[in-house]
Each structure stands twice: as structure tokens, then as C-alpha cells.
Amino acid sequence: MDRAVRHAGGVGWYARGRRSLPPVARSAAVRASTAGVPCDWHVAASLFPEPQPRRRPPWTPRCGCTVSSGLVLRPLGVADFTEARAVADAWFGRPVGLTMHRLFFDQLGPSGLRAAAVEDPDRMLGVLLGFASLAEPELAYIHFVMVDPEVRGSGVARALYHEFGRRMFACGCRRVRTLAAPTNGRSLRFHESLGFVGTYASEYVGPGQDRVVFERALPFAPGP
């Protein structure tokens, strides 16, 4: 500092506008002037620039989270079971029973996904239970999906499917499969819109339990 501020040919900092100096540089110049040392304020200003205000870094998701279309998508955890189970029957309009088994959260949770809005990440908007098949290593399977009725049609389910497909593709899966009841028109149209091809299967999950088996290649097209 001494070599920079003691500028023999410099002009006193009072004569060059002391108020234009940053506080740190002004303090150094004051000390030099008090000691009777001429100070070039240009040198002091370059040596002690005005501190920049600290900017708050942009919000970044926690480990394992993805932000897409205003949604925070993260792997399921054990703690999510209680919240999901509490709303499942109401969201479906009927008891879901063991279709939403705790096993999917305890043992298969990291393969599934939870959706929430970026502005309100504590409120669950949707859940997807899925996993990579052990019998068919290149197959990913979606077992169960539910979305809050208040936000249906806003792209939550689509975002869940796309993110699940992206993660499964990264794990080596090249196909994804899921089921739908042949009487569930909304589900049939949704899967067809995502490029799934369905095959009718009589009594697929038991007597009187027909299903449409949907399958398509991974990954999905970019974007939800």
C-alpha cells in the first residue's frame, strides 16, 4: 500500500475530490495525508475498489432434485409415505388400498418421484411410484401415479413421467411400461398423448381385472 499511495508526483487527494473515493481507499488516503505524504487518489482508488454488495445466489435444488416447468421433482423418501397416504383416497375418489404400499417408499423410494411447486415445495402436488425391472433390465415400470385434483391438467403428471423416464434412461432402461383400466378414458388418452402404445390384456391382474398394457421407448421427447 505504501508504495502505491506515496506517489511523489501525485496531487493531494483533497484537491481531486475525496468523496469520490471508496471508503477503504479514502481511509488509506486520510492516513497518508495525516502523515504528510502526498497521495494520488487514482492509485488509491484502484488499489482499494469499492466493495460490491453481496448478491443472493439463485435458488438451487437439493441433491437429487430437478426443477422443471415450475415444479420441484425429487426422489421419494420414507417420510413421504404418511403425507401421500393421507390424501390418496381423496385424490382418487375411492380407497386405493395396498396399491400404495409402504414398500414403495421404504425400499423403492429413490426410484419414485414427488412433485411440488417451486414457490411452495412443502405442498405435495403429485407422486409417481416406479422402478427399474430386475427381470428385464432395460425396462422401467410405472406402478402408480396420482395428482392433486386441484392442479390436474396443468402438466404435473406429464412432468413426472418425463423426469422418471429421464432418470431411468440414465440408469440403462430403454423402455417404459405401465397399466391402465380399459374403462379409464382419461388415463387412456393421457398415455396415448405421451406416445405409449396400448395392448388390451384380459384378466391381466386377476379374474375380471382387464388392463391395457402401455409401453413405449425411452427417453421421452425433450420437455414436459
73 and 6 in one domain? no
Do 16 and 77 lie in one domain? The reply is no
125 domain-assigned: yes
Q: What is the DSSP string of 142-159?
A: EEEEEE-GGGTTSSHHHH
Q: 41-79 pLDDT, tens per residue? A: 455 555 555 556 555 444 344 457 888 889 999 999 999
Q: Name which residue leads in pLDDT, 110 or 52.
A: 110
pLDDT band at 30 (very low <50, low <70, confident <90, very high): low
Q: The domain spanning residue 99 has which CATH number?
A: 3.40.630.30
The pLDDT of residue 18 is above 50 = no
Same structural domain, 157 and 107: yes
* Separation of alpha carbons 193 and 216, rounded Å: 11
The count of C-alpha atoms lying within 13 angstroms of the C-alpha of 131, restricted to the half-sphere facing its C-beta, is: 13
Going edge to edge, which strands form the sheet with 211-217?
66-68, 71-75, 113-117, 120-132, 139-147, 175-180, 211-217, 197-201
Q: Please determine, for residue 116, whether its predicted confidence score (pLDDT) is greater than 50.
A: yes
Backbone angles phi, psi at 152, to 5 degrees: -65, 140
| Total tally of structural domains belonging to the chain | 2
The neighbour count for residue 182, using CB atoms within 10 Å, is 15
* Residue for grid cell 411400461: 177
Kindly state whether residues 86 and 151 are assigned to the same domain: yes
* 98 C-beta neighbours (distance < 10 Å), count: 8
pLDDT tens digit sequence for 178-222: 999 999 999 999 999 999 999 999 999 999 999 999 999 999 987
pTM over 0.85: no
Query: Quick one: pLDDT at residue 5?
Result: 41
* Cβ atoms < 10 Å from Cβ of 37: 16
pLDDT at 136: 95
The three-state secondary structure class of 78 is coil
Same domain (yes/no): 196, 86 = yes
Q: What confidence score (pLDDT) does residue 42 get?
A: 53
* 95 and 116 Cβ atoms separated by less than 8 Å: no
Which amino acid would we find at residue 94? R
In-domain check, residue 60 = no
Whether 139 and 29 map to the same domain: the answer is no
Helix or strand or coil: residue 66? strand
Is residue 92 in a domain? yes
pLDDT of 222? 72
Q: pLDDT class for 8, splitting at 50, 70, 90?
A: very low
54 lies in some domain:
no
Q: Using only the alpha carbons of the chain, give its radius of gyration.
A: 31
Of 194, 191, 160, the closest CA to residue 178 belongs to 191
Task: Residue 14: give the domain boundaries.
Answer: 2-47
